[in-house]
């Protein structure tokens, strides 16, 4: 990975350990599906978008980075992953879009990484572009995770990749929904597992939905 992008990714705020970020980058680099774009659900401050964006540069494709930038449940005040300085004081709500833009600007990725600012459900209902890679790292509650799976995975092209973050087979390590949608993908018979690093799972679509 380009050393300056690797440094930018590691310096960015967010929730992507370096080894999993590198695995994400390498998966994105190896997708055999031509010029189709990639899309991530859940960008926060842009950390994973820099790993994926680095691969987008090398593959000459675009990454759509989808987030409403209001934070997940666990990012809200009183929850474990709340960062108070990310609250917009004028409205009293989380706003990670300014930091996301700064991260992507400073990494020099503004022509590769396109922010889609909105609710995954709303954007997903209108989406009809085939994807070479889909990265699911948005809402981790049962409803949002299963909905993201249902709405977005049909857009992954055959031979394209579905990458899911925060997959914890042991309930002691974390929440169930990302693990559940990982199981759903495998149970559908349309995906096979290609790799796993930490809580990151890389699946390849082998047949059409
Ligand atoms: N990939 C990021 C971490 C993502 S955290 C990193 O590398 O650091 C999860 C993100 O999902 C949050 O920013 C939150 O705003 C977003 N999110 C949660 N539910 C969403 C929804 N329904 N629609 C759009 N974005 C959502
Ligand atoms: Mg995550």
| CA distances, 111 to each of 57, 59, 74 (Å) | 9, 13, 31
Looking at residue 97, its pLDDT comes to 98
Q: Helices 47-59 & 18-29, crossing angle to 10 degrees?
A: 30
Residues in the chain where the model's pLDDT stays below 70:
none
Looking at residue 93, its pLDDT comes to 94
List, by residue number, the catalytic residues: 140
Contact 115, 97 (CB under 8 A): yes
Question: What residue owns the CA closest to ligand 1's atom 4?
Answer: 42
pTM for the structure as a whole: 0.98
Bridge partners of 6, per DSSP, are none
Question: What residue owns the CA closest to ligand 1's atom 13?
Answer: 44
For the Cβ of 120 lying below 6 angstroms from any atom of ligand 1, the answer is yes
Looking at residue 33, its pLDDT comes to 86
Question: What residue owns the CA closest to ligand 1's atom 18?
Answer: 139
Q: How far apart are CA 27 and CA 132, in angstroms?
A: 11
Looking at residue 25, its pLDDT comes to 98
Mutate to test the pocket of ligand 1, among 42, 93, 99, 198 (most ligand atoms within 8 A of CB): 42
Kindly give the number of the ligand 1 atom that is closest to the alpha carbon of 14. Answer: 8
């Amino acid at each position: 990975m380009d050393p300056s992008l690797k440094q930018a990714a590691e310096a960015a705020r967010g929730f992507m350990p370096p080894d999993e970020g590198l695995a994400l980058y390498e998966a994105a680099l190896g997708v055999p599906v031509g010029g189709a774009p990639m899309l991530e659900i859940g960008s926060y401050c842009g950390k994973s978008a820099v790993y994926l964006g680095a691969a987008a540069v090398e593959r000459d494709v675009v990454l759509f980075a989808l987030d409403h930038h209001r934070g997940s449940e666990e990012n809200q005040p009183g929850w474990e992953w709340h960062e108070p300085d990310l609250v917009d004081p004028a409205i009293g709500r989380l706003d990670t879009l300014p930091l996301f833009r700064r991260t992507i600007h400073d990494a020099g990725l503004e022509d590769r990484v396109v922010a889609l600012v909105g609710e995954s459900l709303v954007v997903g209902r209108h989406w009809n572009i085939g994807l070479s890679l889909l990265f699911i790292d948005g809402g981790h509650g049962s409803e949002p995770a299963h909905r993201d799976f249902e709405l977005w995975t049909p857009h992954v092209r055959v031979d394209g990749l579905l990458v899911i973050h925060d997959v914890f087979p042991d309930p002691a390590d974390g929440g169930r929904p990302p693990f559940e949608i990982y199981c759903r993908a495998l149970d559908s018979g349309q995906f096979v597992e290609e790799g796993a690093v930490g809580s990151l799972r890389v699946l390849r679509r082998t047949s059409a939905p």
